[in-house]
Amino acid sequence: MIPIVKNEEMHKLDLLVEKKIKLPLLLLMENAGREVCERVVSVINQEHISYPKILIVCGPGNNGGDGIVCARHLLNRLRLCEITLLILKTKSYSKDSFVNYQVIKELSKYDDRLKIVENDIRKIKKFKPDIIVDAIFGTGFTRKPEGIFRNAIDLINKTSCYKIAVDIASGVNGNSGEVIGPGVKAHKTVTMGLLKPGLILYPGNSYCQDVYIANLGIDYKKLFSPTTFLVELQDIKMIFPKRPPNGHKGHFGSVLVIAGGNGYSGAACLCSLAALKIGAGIVRLAFPETLRGIIEKRINEVIKIPLPATDEGSISLAGYPIIAEYAQKSSIIALGPGLTTNFETKCLVQKIIKTVDLPMVIDADGINNLSMEFLNSLPLRKRKMLILTPHPGEFERLFKVNAREVNRNRIEIVRAWAKRFSITLVLKGRPTVIGTPKGLVFVNPTGNSGLAKGGSGDVLTGMIAGFLAQGATILDSCLLGVYLHGFCADMGVKDKTEYSLLPSDLIKLIPNVIKKIIES
């Protein structure tokens, strides 16, 4: 897992490094600039640029200081080069940046490979760089770029060359990923010490591509206990359920899927097949009897349990005794896909959650049939067994938080509500984030817009339930299900494209994804 820290947390850690470990912030700036230099040299070598022209645009803060240090190291690393340093100053530099500013000013007097321009963007318009280093604003910038800063960002974006951002692309909010004005579109971002949320949340992620975490000469992970993480492939590989060679279907658990309603037979089928395909030993599907003919034709390997239906074609409350009977034979319940919000079905959903003592993955209409008051009425032990998988709209309906705000601040919102109700929350979207009752948040790196289709969430519900059935913990099942779900989409769009990928394609790709993870 890669720790993720907010801007203010990173600032405190830097001060802690200076106070407790006695490592001066000036040295951290030196290490940061050197790391950016190394990435620039790497691009020069990859592109076989024999006489590189480099433009470094430095703002008034420590980010600009990193850029100035980078310029000095490039002069030391490259024999043949031309470097233009554009310094944008509307106020005095910070102490450490000013030290490096004085050094580079003196150095420019003796090295004709370096040209320094201060504030006058017009003087560099004829300069045609191979590489631009964006060191205007750091992760703490939250405003709209204006004046010479806006003009500089516009110039960078209009220039056709390779762009490297220092810490974060200028104009991107380091905490939220918001871009409220122009922002630099970087090809690579060299972030300092630890990941920040703005690098992985959207739209910031699309501005800060190919993120590299620079080593500043200190292991920050030893100085604090992180609460937010980016999931890696090696994490998934470590928690992947093992299959004993003598295992039988009882070893791998039994999923009871309660799903389907008039017009929504597909949701029930997708969820059930996904649970079976991901490795569950037995999958039973409880559905309204009005769908019997359709479901019998669509799926063979799943055990069917037709239940009494309401006049609207959803599962009737009269089906509860049958559900309770099959729940005793099951390991996990997946509840919600296609159920509808019929009043009688809503009563059934709440009765199942209250009375059945099994872990549950609750999605779609399973969530839409809940309320905060209902969740609060559940005992703590019961709530800790629940996984809710809302998209932002479902999150808004349940928790009364505007969907736009959910998208804007998904990490902290998921953390707060998962902790408040002691449930596990899987907030779908890009990126999908998982919140735990203890306040930990895990950000998933896989997936694409090919998942933005009705039915994709039903597949995810089945995958999480299938991992739970095989004995994975609640958290591990969510990590596994979400990562593989996105991995299937990433693999699928290579042939299908993000326009044409279907939820059923995800299920077909599960075997290939499992194989890739196991063999990696």
253 and 301 inside one domain: yes
Domain-located, residue 412:
no
Domain boundary among 180, 197, 226: 226
pLDDT at 221: 86
Domain-located, residue 170:
yes
126 and 180 inside one domain: yes
**Measured torsion, CA atoms of residues 201, 457, 345, 381, in degrees rounded to the nearest 10:** -60
Give the CATH number of the domain where residue 182 resides.
3.40.50.10260
Q: Do residues 88 and 153 touch, judged by C-beta distance below 8 A?
A: no
pLDDT at 246: 85
pLDDT at 473: 97
184 and 160 inside one domain: yes
- Please, what is the end-to-end C-alpha distance for the chain in angstroms? 17
217 and 237 inside one domain: no
Domain-located, residue 195:
yes
Domain-located, residue 15:
yes
Q: Do residues 135 and 166 touch, judged by C-beta distance below 8 A?
A: yes
169 and 283 inside one domain: no
pTM: 0.94
Number of structural domains found in the chain = 2
pLDDT at 402: 95
Digitized pLDDT (tens) for each residue of the chain, 520 residues in all:
999 999 999 999 988 888 888 888 899 999 999 999 999 999 999 999 999 999 999 998 899 999 999 999 999 999 899 999 999 987 777 788 989 999 999 998 899 999 999 998 888 888 999 999 999 998 888 889 999 999 999 999 999 999 999 999 999 999 999 999 999 999 999 999 999 999 999 999 999 999 999 999 888 888 889 999 999 999 999 999 998 888 787 788 999 999 999 999 999 999 999 999 999 999 999 999 999 999 999 999 999 999 999 999 999 999 999 999 999 999 999 999 999 999 999 999 999 999 999 999 999 999 999 999 999 999 999 999 999 999 999 999 999 999 999 998 999 999 999 999 999 999 999 999 999 999 999 999 999 999 999 999 999 999 999 999 999 999 999 999 999 999 999 999 999 999 999 999 999 999 999 999 999 8
What are the phi and psi torsion angles at 138 (to 5°)? -95, -160
Domain boundary among 226, 253, 272: 226
Domain-located, residue 68:
yes
Residue 425 DSSP symbol: E
Secondary structure (3-state) at 279: coil
- Please provide the DSSP assignment of 188-231 as one string: EEEEESSB-HHHHSTTHHHHB-SEEEE--SS-GGGSS---EEE-
Could you tell me the residue range of the domain that residue 160 belongs to? 2-226
Q: Which two tokens stand for residue 488?
A: 């299937």
469 and 514 inside one domain: yes
pLDDT at 179: 94
Q: Which two tokens stand for residue 101?
A: 């500013």
Give the CATH number of the domain where residue 289 resides.
3.40.1190.20
What are the phi and psi torsion angles at 380 (to 5°)? -55, -45
143 and 174 inside one domain: yes
Give the Cα separation of 201 and 192 in Å (integer): 17
Domain boundary among 196, 226, 256: 226
206 and 316 inside one domain: no
154 and 259 inside one domain: no
8 and 94 inside one domain: yes
pLDDT at 126: 85
| Residue whose C-alpha is closest to residue 223's, from 438, 18, 411, 439 | 18
* Cβ atoms within 10 Å of 199's Cβ, excluding its own: 25
Domain-located, residue 153:
yes
State the residue for tokens 């850029």: 67
Q: Do residues 319 and 356 touch, judged by C-beta distance below 8 A?
A: no
198 and 244 inside one domain: no
Q: Up-side HSE of residue 456: CA atoms within 13 Å toward CB?
A: 25
Domain-located, residue 306:
yes
56 and 157 inside one domain: yes
pLDDT at 337: 97
CA distance to 40, 116, 138, 422, per residue, from 164 (Å): 8, 19, 13, 42
Domain-located, residue 477:
yes
Sheet of 162-166, strand order: 114-118, 82-87, 53-58, 131-135, 162-166, 188-192, 211-214
